[in-house]
Structure 1
Amino acid sequence: MRVTRGYECCTRSGGSPARGDRAAGGPLQVKVYAGLDPVTGKRVYLRETIQGTSKAAWKRAEKKRNELVVQVDKLRSTPSAVRLDHAIDRWLATNELEDSTRKTYVGYIERTIKPALGAIAVNKLGALELESFYTELRRCRVRCDRKPFIEKHNAEGDHDCLAEKCKPHVCKGMAASTVRQIHSIISGTMNAAARWDWITLNPAKLARRPKQKPPEPDPPTSAEAARLVEEAFRMDDDWGTLVWLVMTTGMRRGELCGLRFNRVDLDAEVIDLRRNWVGGKEKDTKTHQNRRIALGSETVALLREHRERVAERVRSVGGEFTEDLFVFSGTRTLDHKEPYSPNAVTQRYKDMATRLKIDTHLHALRHYSATELLTAGVDLRTVAGRLGHGGGGATTLRVYAAWVAASDRKAAEILGSRMPKRARA
């Protein structure tokens, strides 16, 4: 059976489209043309399968065909014709984002989203188009046509350069986490478009995005941690104290760099974390929550010595030591009025680890702190509080599930050892 609208049909699977052909076997196939896929350029159809060969089956097929036609017509007849690139610009202008986050989003928008989907009206963008887009990005980040070509470092193509700078294209898919960030941008934009009555439904809520990779923390071993902290103190006492503090508190890099002396109470033996240093600015902590971290006696002793060194250093350059100075500062900033650059801390730590032939990075020290506490039997809520995780420990449990299980096993053994012994036959 073919219909007169010109973009849908209903046929038997593998058989003739004639409605009177009762002898043909197989279910009925309902297919409605829904336009061209903006990502691949291929024709898109909505399909449904109806089981049976009776007149009732044909009626069900007709009904389903009409439902699909209405679905396509509704998508095409939505009044707004605002393009996605305009919607994204409006969303960026009205959305409150951290400077670093905004910079990252703009990069994804200009390099990836706008070239592929920017010209499409928001009312024409559906879950199918988004899923096709994500699939293409996972296959190749430049969404090539699968044909060989030379990637030129100069977009204009008219240049004189060393041959090794222009190489044959090799497909390299985007990481699932990156595609999920792109999805978040599109979803946020479409949510705003729905609030502004440009569309009736956010298709990004229906689209499947790449699965989030399970966290795989890889902290250094106890022996490696000992070598790292020993080498750090050999390099200089300030650097050794910094590495020690990260190991024992699990502080984030930005929290460490933004730490001031007025937030370190050595008498009460606690650090009051309230600020974070990101993108050259002082901001709230990542979770926008304040937290207090208890310090061990050895850590307090190291910080007292560090405080005295800093005070003497500041006075040596004609300055005055105040509680508002940063605890850690770069080697060129002797007055401690500027914090240690987060990137410089990361690079210096990486260079040190490479020199020791230990495959690790600065953030792994945060994992080390957490896993050591959990392995020692410290309860999950306490560990979560020290790390600044929200959700009452849900994040900590998700990231460090293996170590929580090991801690649970240790607790079971301890409890078993305290139970009264049974006489065995």
Structure 2
Amino acid sequence: MTTPRDTPASRRVRANGDGTVYQRKDSRWEAAGYVLAPGNTRRRVRVYGTTRKEALAKLTEKIAASNRGLPVPSAQGSVAAYLTYWLENVAVHHLRENTHTRYTTCVHRYLIPGLGKKKLTKLTAKDVRTWLNQLRTTCQCCTRRIDAQRDQPRCCAAGQCCHKLLPPLTLTYIHSVLKSALEHAVREEEIPRNVARNVRTGTPRPRRFEPLTTNEARQLLAATRGHRLHALFELALHTGLRKGELLGLRWEDLDLDAGTAAIRRTLQRTSAGGLTTLPTKTRASERRIALPSRCLHSLKLYREQQQREREAAGTTWQHDGHVFTTVQGRPIDPTNLTRAFTTLLRKAGLRRIRFHDLRHSTATLLLEQGVELVVIKELLGHAHIGVTATVYAHVRLRLQRDAIDTLGTALVGRETTETARSDGDEPPPCTALVR
């Protein structure tokens, strides 16, 4: 009579649902069992090991994950194949054209050359971390073969590496694109988890910007007087609107009698559609703001000027309702506005800044005037007040000095009061000191 102990290990009967384990002719051990698959179906999987214990452990791990509701990965292709699929079939429908272009550049320049050959199901957090560390310390002239595109050899081709490393913000952006792609792979049950989320790249320092001071802002406004787009620059500095929001304004969005403006759209140049009017950056960016009296006066004068230009242009006038247009009535290209702004800075004798720094200048000047952070958040159209607090956490030296002087005055006043008390008679215990 044969007992279970006498039965060979490869023929022992396992419980129902535990799968089977047996030894192959090549001496390896194979374990097979049914696990959860995408679409709420079940699929038979096979794992291998050099010993029975190793193969059984692999199968047990897969069955345990299946019992927790994690489907077995179905992707069999490489990371490069999935990233290409994600860009062409998923991201293109959820991102703006310019954002999709930046994602595509990031994928083809960094992600596919670095991780593209790995199997999607085999990608680990260690692989991502190792690749990011290598990207952080590798000269881009060498990695991207920039030397080969130059007429004369430089950097690594000449034996003198310039150590052109990627900025921390760029590394964080590359990491975020990879996380977005893998997150969708998890959502489609291609992989069980997003391994890129387990990698920490650190929080990069925000980009430093030098907003205009009060005197510099006055110089700029003085330089814009007499300029055709004086109303635009004045509105930008008083309200902090983005460049695209300013150029996307239509006369129907303005209520000059009530002194308000409805921010509903933005104007951008895309590679496919040219100058295109799009919805605002976020839902919070769609807002109604109050206009200062100076801007209302400038806008009324600009509307009269635009009417004279329309009469002078005659049949060549091509107006579609935008507030700020060219002499022929067409929308203003954002690049041309940047050129005009740079010329005005040079005329005013000011340092060169970005047009977007006018937005930072507005917020900083409002903070200096003691305006509440929540009011600035509503004016700028930030989604959360934490964004406003983070971006404008800097405090000018004058504000620091005012705060320190206020504290010093309070401390000196306290000492003076205590000295006066010690010199004279003590006040009655029931008397409260009123300041």
Q: TM-score, normalised by structure 1?
A: 0.70
Q: In the aligned structure 2, how far is the partner of 1:362 from the partner of 1:287?
A: 20
| Residue of 134, 150, 160 corresponding to 1:136 | 134
| Residue of 217, 223, 244 corresponding to 1:231 | 223
- What does residue 106 of structure 1 align with? 104
- What does residue 386 of structure 2 align with? 394
- What does residue 268 of structure 2 align with? 278
Contact 1:377–1:411 (CA under 8 A) maintained in structure 2? no
- 1:343 is aligned to 2:335: yes
- What does residue 307 of structure 1 align with? 303
- What does residue 359 of structure 1 align with? 352
Cα shift at 1:353:
2.2
Cα shift at 1:281:
1.1
- 1:258 is aligned to 2:248: yes
- What does residue 57 of structure 1 align with? none
Contact 1:233–1:241 (CA under 8 A) maintained in structure 2? no
Q: Which amino acid aligns with 2:195?
A: P
Cα shift at 1:70:
6.3
Cα shift at 1:380:
0.9
| Residue of 361, 374, 377 corresponding to 2:370 | 377
Contact 1:264–1:272 (CA under 8 A) maintained in structure 2? yes
Q: In the aligned structure 2, how far is the partner of 1:404 from the partner of 1:218?
A: 10
Q: In the aligned structure 2, how far is the partner of 1:353 from the partner of 1:213?
A: 28
Alignment of 1:233-252 (within 5 A): 233-234=225-226, 236=227, 238-252=228-242
Q: In the aligned structure 2, how far is the partner of 1:314 from the partner of 1:220?
A: 35
- What does residue 326 of structure 1 align with? 322
Q: In the aligned structure 2, how far is the partner of 1:306 from the partner of 1:128?
A: 60
Cα shift at 1:233:
2.1
- What does residue 293 of structure 2 align with? 297
Q: TM-score, normalised by structure 2?
A: 0.69
Which stretches in structure 1 are left out of the alignment for 5+ residues?
A: 1-65, 155-160
Contact 2:125–2:195 (CA under 8 A) maintained in structure 1? yes
Contact 2:141–2:164 (CA under 8 A) maintained in structure 1? no
Q: Which amino acid aligns with 1:375?
A: E
CA displacement 1:114-144 (0-9 Å, x = unmatched): 1221111112211111112222222235384
Q: Which amino acid aligns with 2:123?
A: L
User: Secondary structure of 2:252's partner?
Assistant: helix
Q: 1:138 to 1:165 in 2, by over 3 A?
A: closer
Q: In the aligned structure 2, how far is the partner of 1:87 from the partner of 1:298?
A: 54
Q: 1:241 to 1:78 in 2, by over 3 A?
A: closer
Q: In the aligned structure 1, how far is the partner of 2:369 from the partner of 2:308?
A: 38
Q: 1:143 to 1:83 in 2, by over 3 A?
A: farther
Cα shift at 1:195:
2.2
Q: Which amino acid aligns with 2:232?
A: L
Q: In the aligned structure 1, how far is the partner of 2:229 from the partner of 2:313?
A: 20
Q: In the aligned structure 2, how far is the partner of 1:321 from the partner of 1:123?
A: 59
- What does residue 45 of structure 1 align with? none
User: Secondary structure of 1:100's partner?
Assistant: helix
| Residue of 182, 185, 188 corresponding to 1:193 | 185
Contact 1:83–1:122 (CA under 8 A) maintained in structure 2? yes
Q: 1:139 to 1:162 in 2, by over 3 A?
A: closer
Contact 2:73–2:189 (CA under 8 A) maintained in structure 1? no
Alignment of 1:49-60 (within 5 A): none
| Residue of 85, 100, 106 corresponding to 1:90 | 85
Contact 1:139–1:172 (CA under 8 A) maintained in structure 2? no
Q: CA RMSD in A?
A: 3.7
Mark the structure with the bigger radius of gyration: 2
Q: Which amino acid aligns with 1:220?
A: L
Q: In the aligned structure 2, how far is the partner of 1:150 from the partner of 1:106?
A: 19
Q: 1:323 to 1:265 in 2, by over 3 A?
A: farther
Contact 1:346–1:362 (CA under 8 A) maintained in structure 2? yes
Which stretches in structure 2 are left out of the alignment for 5+ residues?
A: 1-53, 63-71, 270-274, 421-435
Q: 1:287 to 1:100 in 2, by over 3 A?
A: same
Contact 2:147–2:154 (CA under 8 A) maintained in structure 1? no
285-294 or 298-307: bigger deviation = 285-294
Q: In the aligned structure 2, how far is the partner of 1:214 from the partner of 1:70?
A: 45
Cα shift at 1:171:
2.7
User: Secondary structure of 1:315's partner?
Assistant: helix
- 1:119 is aligned to 2:109: no
Q: How many residues align?
A: 338
| Residue of 313, 331, 339 corresponding to 1:317 | 313
| Residue of 218, 221, 229 corresponding to 2:213 | 221
Q: 1:174 to 1:165 in 2, by over 3 A?
A: closer
- What does residue 37 of structure 2 align with? none
Contact 2:322–2:331 (CA under 8 A) maintained in structure 1? yes
Q: In the aligned structure 1, how far is the partner of 2:301 from the partner of 2:196?
A: 55
- 1:368 is aligned to 2:361: yes
Q: In the aligned structure 2, how far is the partner of 1:170 from the partner of 1:126?
A: 32
Contact 1:250–1:387 (CA under 8 A) maintained in structure 2? yes
Q: Which amino acid aligns with 1:132?
A: T
Q: In the aligned structure 1, how far is the partner of 2:107 from the partner of 2:365?
A: 41
Q: In the aligned structure 2, how far is the partner of 1:412 from the partner of 1:285?
A: 43
